[in-house]
Amino acid sequence: MSRRGRRRLLSAEERALWTHVVRSVKPLKPQAEPEAPAVPEVPPLPVPEPPAPPAAPPAKRVPPKAPAPPPLAGLEPKARRRLSRGAEVDARLDLHGLTQAAAHRRLRLFLLEAQADGHSVVLVITGKGDPERLTGHGPAFGEGRGVLKRAVPLWLAEPDLRAVVVGFEPAGRRHGGEGALYVRIRRGRG
């Protein structure tokens, strides 16, 4: 006999579920209530849990973000003591007399070379600014006073220099005090 002519019989669970569904449906247009087919009484089954919602579509592949660089750190106390007692830094850069753009380029190049050379602590001399402008006696008080002194720490904290700079802090008096910075260099890879 062919499979097409044969109907599958509902199980007891399926019949109970169908009865439950039929009772809960409201017709769109009221009609005379049709006689329900004789269905043997089956004890009501617990209402099954609704199926889990379909899985969300796979998210677009977003390349992982580069990990944030660690916070900037100053010198270790041992290195600070050595430098304050007169130890020499590995290299020094004097930015006196340079424009901001030239100083920024020179600083970047200097730090990359210092890392390539394996230096650990370098000195960057920014200067303290024009004393006349700092005291307010000069003709252009407030203009350009200590521009590099203010800008260099910002440049050292830039994200692209973080691969080179571990941290920095003001230099000791022997190395220029407030007009210079000790810069810790990250070890190069390779």
pLDDT digits (tens, 9 = 90+) for 146-172: 888 899 999 988 888 888 998 888 887
Q: Would you give the DSSP letter of residue 103?
A: H
Residues belonging to the chain: 190
Those residues with Cβ within 8 angstroms of residue 171's Cβ, 6 or more apart along the chain or in another chain: 83, 123, 177, 179, 180, 181, 182
In 3D, which of 125, 138, 115, 101 has the Cα closest to residue 179?
125
Other Cβ atoms less than 10 A from the Cβ of 91: the count is 17
pLDDT tens readout for residues 93-149? 999 889 999 999 999 999 999 999 999 889 999 888 765 554 444 444 444 568 888
Structure tokens at 140: 């252009």
Determine the residue type at 96. Answer: H
Structure tokens at 88: 């020499």
Domain boundaries, the chain: 77-185
CATH fold for the domain made of 77-185 = Ribosomal Protein S8; Chain: A, domain 1 (3.30.1370)
Determine the residue type at 172. Answer: G
- The angle formed by the CA atoms of residues 13, 45 and 50, to the nearest 5 degrees, is 85
